[in-house]
Structure 1
């Protein structure tokens, strides 16, 4: 599966037609607690990560939120 991840072309080694956001986060080892995920410009809520799917050609943004003072 070929997608665009954070504005870079990315090949995901899977034989499935779609993967969930949770699966992508596990594959790419994104472990930060505070993440914002968009698929094709649509914001995906954290409680939807296990249902929201990513398919070949999708544009995915995974943004780490950092707080400070």
Structure 2
């Protein structure tokens, strides 16, 4: 599995997006999450089980002005 274009070494059967976020300490309030280019809504982070060949992207939004 890849996380933000880098190999993710802690993949295991049953791993969810929420599991990755907890392990990596991703706690930002506004995130954009995609699996294989498909947007995933926050309410689904604990339900989407990742496969070994998935490409997960997690980006936090920044504001400015």
Question: What is the TM-score normalised by the length of structure 1?
Answer: 0.85
What is the match of residue 26 of structure 2?
Answer: 30
Query: Equivalent residue of 1:23, what SS?
Result: helix
Higher percent of residues as strand: 1
Instruction: Provide runs of 4+ in structure 1 moved above 2 Å.
Output: none
1:39 aligns with 2:39: no
What is the RMSD computed on CA atoms of the aligned residues?
1.2
**Which residue of 2 is the match for residue 11 of structure 1?**
9
Equivalent residues in 2 for 1:51-66 (5 A)? Answer: 51-66=47-62
1:4-34 Cα offsets, whole Å, 9 max, x none, are: 1101112016xx4121111110011111111
Runs of 5+ in structure 2 lacking a partner?
A: none
Equivalenced residues, count = 65
